[in-house]
Amino acid sequence: MRQIYEFGEFRLDPDEQLLLHEGQPVAVTPKVFETLLILLNSDGRLIDKDEFIGQLWPNVFVEDVALAQNISQLRKALSDGKNGSQMIQTVPKRGYRLLVPVNRVTVEERTVEVKPSQKANGAAVGLPFPEASIESPVPREAKEKAKRPQKRKIVVAAFVAAVSALVVAGFFLGLYGKHGWLSRSVAYPVTEQRVTSNPPEVPVRDAVASRDGKYVAYADPTGLYLRQISTGETHPWPLPKGFVAWPNSWFPDSTHLLVVHLAGQPESLDVWKPSLWKISLLGGDPQEIKEDAVGGSVSPDGSRIAYLPGPRFSTELWVMDSDGANPRKVVSAGRRDPPNSLRSWIYPVVWSPSGQRLAYIERHFASAPDPAEQTFSLETIDANGGGSTVVLDDDPRIGMALWWISDGRVFYAYREGEASEGDDYGVYSVPVNQQTGKAIGQPQPVTNAEGRIEGLSATSNGDRLVLWRTNRQPQAFIAAFDAVSRQWKTPRRLTLDANANIAEAWTSDSNAVLFVSNRNSTWKLFKQRIDETTAQVLVEGRSIYLPRLSADGAQVLYLVTSKPEDTSFPASLMSKPLIGGPQHLILSDKGIINYQCAQAPATLCIFSKLVGQDLIFVSFDLEHGAGSELFRIPNGYTNWSLSADGLKLAIFLSRHQIRFFSLATKVANEVSVKEWPLSNGDWSADGKSVFMPSFTPKSEPVVLEVDETGKAEVALQGNANTGFRSMIQSPDGRYGLLVEDLPGENNAWMVDNF
């Protein structure tokens, strides 16, 4: 007697290494079969990743990615995730759990012969299961005779199925070439191989593979480099002194490279003047092709260049000849903006293998506070213009990396985990018809690992893919203020967690801070004392952001929404006692941009919402919700801060302009800070100035202190390759709470035979 496992529409026989779906065999590798068996024997408990790896690979060191690959292949075999089904739950950073009930059936032991032809490449092929019945007293000869017609039927059916499969495979191979997407589907996912090994202090950016697959060109803060993949040799690119360039796209000869030249600082939009240039491995002077242009992509035959008008965020896609002549607009963004989307940008853009069409990502900017989701669309369009075709629509999980390879598949970055709000992205592919630009198959996973994917590129024959991964996360820091010298001391890190941590508020006693973090793959609300190294969870859930404090300091306020990517969906402003207790809904409204309360004895609380193009300021209180409209700003998507006494607003109108507004007299005083680019700020504890993040002309991050006359002084200066997001002074004035973007591992990786 032996045991058979029944779960959902599947049956599994561990002794015979057989897996059936509704009576039909399912082919899986032996290691994937073992993975499924471990889940079936877990009785629904969460299996820790280390325990899982220990059972699959005893006494062997194996990285987590190998287990993730097994789980991914198992999901595909079980059609997990399709049509809303979910059989395997991924608990980020922890492990996996089987969600469906398992029925164990005891059956009579008998031998099933598996011929060599029924196994290929070590894959276990499912065969019919033995029935749980009593053997009848029929002579062996009679039974064998009775089985022969059925055996013939099975053989004939298997032959017909095999021939049909070969015909279908041959059709698609002819349509997509010898590397067709169907022929490769069994290879997903593949493991990434490291190309560069830069430390976090010297992050790689814009890594691009040459068309012949021999080289990777990449930039970092020290310059532009060429790396030979086969040997690992790396050399600085021969460029004129002071010529700062980031690689965009190789020309077909794999000798010339299209780069964006930076005549200014990328962090300072007002002085960043990008242009596209052509440079050569053989040396010589760079050749300028186009001013005020970024995101260049060279066509497969090298005759044209697709580009985006500069300086950085472009709403248009253009094409020109490879020498810069004959520029013409192809498409504008924003024709299909989701409801309440503030604006749309295009980036990146790539060519189809035939050069007939272009694929691009359209980014829909949400009118909601950080870290609310933005949405992205993957679209294609004829290179000569016309109507665009949507391949993937309004999905917050799509990343800003794209490539179209020779077999017709479009590769794109995609965030792992349907319910995850983390920053780990994989590479997916979808087959697209090069004539119509429409998808002709379902997306398939290719690879996955930690970090965002900011760039993709592949060889001309489509056998090597290079990706550029970034790991840059916001972290909370504390800086002490020396009252004697009137200077801020060097900040120390507060949040000792590698995931994103966005701090927004102090408690009224100045001893703890409130922040949101996606350290558990969803945005939750935390509280941490400044003299401790760990935080406590205040509010569980997902899509929680922008924590503030009530005027009396007793309640933590926060926004939450079930659809952070859809700003037409209302966000709820909630409150919860800091000492514990039930949550309370204050109000619910669409388009909420910001909110803030003054500090006792003041009682004023204000929120702003975007209605059309107007920013409307509304009062509210914790018991009665929204109050009366205070005023509005036309075309006013902007940041603002309420002073602690509730008497003044600082409204950041543009990169250099601040409006100081008296709520009592309704008098406004506008000042200009010409030397420094600005985006947001927070009032000082005494209400005499605002602290604002900015950059020096050399891209060094700083925090400015600006008074109501517009006088600006540097309060803090940060390290290179980082950036300040905000600085909030504690109520007692002794400390500053800073959010600083820290680079993690930013490097180039590659995958072959995908």
If you write DSSP's letter for every residue of 10-53 in order, what string do you get? EEEETTTTEEEETTEE--B-HHHHHHHHHHHTTTTPPEEHHHHH
Q: Are residues 182 and 212 in the same domain?
A: no
- Domain CATH number, residue 77: 1.10.10.10
Mean pLDDT across 544-573 = 86
Residue 617 lies in a domain: yes
| H/E element, 176 | helix 140-176
pLDDT of residue 344: 86
Task: Look at the block and give the residue holding tokens 């779960």.
Answer: 7
Task: Show which of 186, 204, 225 is a domain's final residue.
Answer: 186
Q: Are residues 458 and 498 in the same domain?
A: no
Residue 27 lies in a domain: yes
Return the SS3 of 399.
strand
pLDDT of residue 179: 31
Which is it for strands 398-404 and 389-395: parallel, antiparallel or unpaired? unpaired
Residue 649 lies in a domain: yes
Mean pLDDT across 649-659 = 92
Q: Are residues 546 and 666 in the same domain?
A: yes
Residue 505 lies in a domain: yes
Cα distances (angstroms) measured from residue 290 to each of 265, 306, 325, 355: 18, 11, 9, 21
- Range of weakest confidence among 112-116, 482-486, 597-601, 623-627: 112-116
Mean of per-residue pLDDT scores for the chain? 83
pLDDT of residue 266: 46
pLDDT of residue 169: 36
- Range of weakest confidence among 68-72, 676-680, 746-750: 68-72
Confidence of residue 128 (pLDDT cuts 50, 70, 90): very low
- Range of weakest confidence among 75-79, 183-187, 638-642: 183-187
Confidence of residue 145 (pLDDT cuts 50, 70, 90): very low
Residue 608 lies in a domain: yes
The residue range of the domain holding 69 is 2-133
Mean pLDDT across 467-479 = 94
pLDDT of residue 182: 33
- Domain CATH number, residue 506: 2.120.10.30
Mean pLDDT across 329-350 = 77
Mean pLDDT across 201-210 = 93
Euclidean distance between CA atoms 336 and 326, whole angstroms: 28
Confidence of residue 121 (pLDDT cuts 50, 70, 90): very low
pLDDT of residue 60: 59
Confidence of residue 659 (pLDDT cuts 50, 70, 90): very high
Which is it for strands 584-589 and 571-577: parallel, antiparallel or unpaired? antiparallel
Report which of residues 538 and 313 the model is more confident about.
Answer: 538
Give the pTM: 0.70
Question: What token pair was written down for 503?
Answer: 């701090």
Q: Answer whether residue 623 shows pLDDT above 70.
A: yes
Confidence of residue 106 (pLDDT cuts 50, 70, 90): confident
Q: Are residues 106 and 175 in the same domain?
A: no
The maximal CA–CA distance of the chain, rounded, in angstroms, is 105
Confidence of residue 82 (pLDDT cuts 50, 70, 90): low
- Domain CATH number, residue 456: 2.130.10.10
Please report, rounded to a whole number, the percentage of residues in the chain having pLDDT higher than 70. Answer: 83
Mean pLDDT across 400-412 = 95
pLDDT of residue 565: 60
Nearest to 706 by CA among 682, 689, 726: 689
Please report, rounded to a whole number, the percentage of residues in the chain having pLDDT higher than 90. Answer: 55
Domain count, the chain: 4
Q: Are residues 540 and 688 in the same domain?
A: yes
Q: Per residue in 239-292, pLDDT tens?
A: 998 899 999 999 999 999 999 998 754 444 445 689 999 999 988 899 999 999
Choose the most confident range, by mean pLDDT, from 263-277, 505-519, 560-574. Answer: 505-519
pLDDT of residue 165: 38
Q: Are residues 205 and 111 in the same domain?
A: no
Cα distances (angstroms) measured from residue 103 to each of 43, 74, 88, 552: 10, 19, 16, 57
Q: Are residues 418 and 534 in the same domain?
A: no
Euclidean distance between CA atoms 447 and 189, whole angstroms: 5
Nearest to 543 by CA among 397, 417, 420, 363: 420
Query: What type of residue is 417?
Result: G
Task: Show which of 146, 168, 186 is a domain's final residue.
Answer: 186
Confidence of residue 685 (pLDDT cuts 50, 70, 90): very high
- Range of weakest confidence among 331-345, 378-392, 394-408, 627-641: 331-345
Question: What token pair was written down for 646?
Answer: 């509730």
Confidence of residue 542 (pLDDT cuts 50, 70, 90): confident
pLDDT of residue 606: 97
Mean pLDDT across 148-168 = 38
pLDDT of residue 543: 85
Residue 103 lies in a domain: yes
Q: Answer whether residue 605 shows pLDDT above 90.
A: yes
Euclidean distance between CA atoms 750 and 375, whole angstroms: 27
Task: Show which of 186, 204, 229 is a domain's final residue.
Answer: 186
pLDDT of residue 405: 94
Euclidean distance between CA atoms 682 and 624, whole angstroms: 27
Residue 341 lies in a domain: yes
- Range of weakest confidence among 364-373, 385-394, 682-691: 364-373
Euclidean distance between CA atoms 714 and 156, whole angstroms: 82
Confidence of residue 83 (pLDDT cuts 50, 70, 90): low
Residue 749 lies in a domain: no
Q: Are residues 466 and 603 in the same domain?
A: no
Q: Are residues 557 and 537 in the same domain?
A: yes
pLDDT of residue 268: 44
pLDDT of residue 387: 87
- Residue 664 is given by DSSP the state T
pLDDT of residue 331: 94
pLDDT of residue 696: 87
Mean pLDDT across 333-352 = 76
pLDDT of residue 31: 83
pLDDT of residue 116: 33
Q: 588 - beta bridge partners?
A: 572
Cβ count near 754 (within 10 Å): 23
pLDDT of residue 235: 94
Euclidean distance between CA atoms 87 and 80, whole angstroms: 6
**50 — phi, psi (to 5°)?**
-65, -40
Q: Are residues 78 and 226 in the same domain?
A: no
Q: Are residues 182 and 258 in the same domain?
A: no
Q: Are residues 128 and 163 in the same domain?
A: no
